[in-house]
Chain A
Amino acid sequence: MLGRLDDVVERSLRGPSLEEEAFNRLVVQGIRRVVREYEIRPEKGVLVSHEEALIDRVWQAALDFLAGCGVYCQSTGRVIRFGREEIEALLHEAPAEIWMGEGSDARLERCRSVEDPRPPLNMGSSIGSPVSEELFVPVMVSYAQEPLVDVTCGPSLMTVRGREIRSGSPLEIQAAWREVEGMREALARAGRPGMAWTGMMLSMTQAGQLSAAGPLGLRASDLHTFGVISELKTNFDILNKLTHTLHIGGIVDPYANPIYGGLAGGAEGMAVMITAAMLALSVIFMATCVGSSPTHPFHFNDTGPELLMASSLAFQALARHTHLMTNLTVTPVGGPGTETLLYECIAFTVLSTVSGASRILGPRSATGSIPNHFSGLEARFNGEVMRAASRLRRNEAEEIVRRALTKYESDLDRKPYGKPFPEVYDVETAQPRPEWLRIVDAVREEAVGWGLGLDGVGTE
Chain B
Amino acid sequence: MSEAFEALERAIRGGDVAAGAAEAARMVQAGRSPKEIFRDCIEPTLADIGDRFSRLELFLPEMMEAADVVKAVQEALRPHLAADPSLRTSKGKIVICTVSGDLHDIGKNIVRAMLEVNGFEVRDLGVDVSPAAAVDAARETGADILALSALMLPSLPYMRDAIDMVRQNETLRLRLKVLVGGGPVSRDWARAAGADGYGDDAIEAVREARALMGTAE
Contacts of B126 in A (CB 8 A): 20
Instruction: Give every chain B residue within 8 A of A233 (Cβ-Cβ).
Output: 103
With A130-B153, A167-B100 known to touch, is A369 a contact of B184 (CB < 8 Å)?
Answer: yes
Q: Is the interface of B mostly helix, strand, loop or mixed?
A: helix
Q: What are the residues of chain B within 8 A of A338 when measuring CB–CB? A: none
* Contact A165 B153, CB 8 Å, known A298-B201, A300-B183, A369-B184: yes
Q: Does B91 make an interface contact (CB < 8 A)?
A: no
Chain A interface, DSSP helix/strand/loop, else mixed: loop
Given contacts A261-B59, A261-B60, A262-B106, contact A166 B203 (CB under 8 A): no
B110 and A297 contact, CB distance less than 8 A: yes
Q: CA–CA, A298 to B57, complex, Å? A: 13
Given A231-B106, A297-B202: A166 touches B154 (CB 8 Å cut-off): yes
A262:B59 contact, CB within 8 angstroms: yes
Considering the chains assembled together, what is the distance between the CA atoms of A16 and B169 in angstroms?
Answer: 43
Q: Provide a sorted-by-A list of 11 A–B residue pairs whose CB atoms are within 8 angstroms.
A: A20-B126, A130-B184, A166-B158, A167-B100, A167-B101, A167-B152, A168-B101, A229-B104, A259-B107, A261-B53, A262-B59
> Cβ of A25: which chain B residues have Cβ within 8 Å of it?
64
Shortest Cβ gap from B96 to chain A (Å) = 14
The interface residues of chain B lying within 8 Å CB-to-CB of A204 are 101-103, 152, 154-155
Interface residues on B, range: 20 to 34
Q: Which residues of B contact A298 (CB under 8 A)?
A: 54, 56, 201-203
In the complex, are the beta carbons of B106 and A205 less than 8 A apart? no
How many A-B residue pairs lie within 8 Å, measured between CB atoms?
91
Known: A166-B101, A167-B100, A306-B56. 4 other contacts (CB 8 A): A175-B154, A229-B105, A230-B104, A262-B110
Contact partners of A260 in chain B: CB under 8 A: 56
Q: Which of A32, A231, A369 has the most CB of B within 10 A?
A: A369
Size bin of chain A's contact surface: 35 or more
Q: Is there a chain B Cβ closer than 8 Å to A263's Cβ?
A: yes
Q: Which B residues contact A (CB, under 8 angstroms)?
A: 53-54, 56, 59-61, 64, 100-107, 109-110, 126-127, 152-158, 183-184, 201-203
In the complex, how many angstroms separate the beta carbon of A264 from the nearest chain B beta carbon?
Answer: 8
Please name the 4 residue pairs, one residue from A and one from B, whose CB atoms are nearest each other, closest first: A167-B101, A167-B154, A265-B59, A28-B61
In the bound assembly, the distance between CA atoms of A250 and B59 in angstroms comes to 39
Query: What CA separation (Å) do A100 and B166 show in the bound complex?
Result: 49
Nearest-neighbour CB distance to chain A for B73, whole angstroms, equals: 19
B201 lies within 8 A of A202 (CB): no
**Which B residues lie within 8 Å of A175 (CB)?**
154
List residues of chain B with CB within 8 A of the CB of A229: 103-105
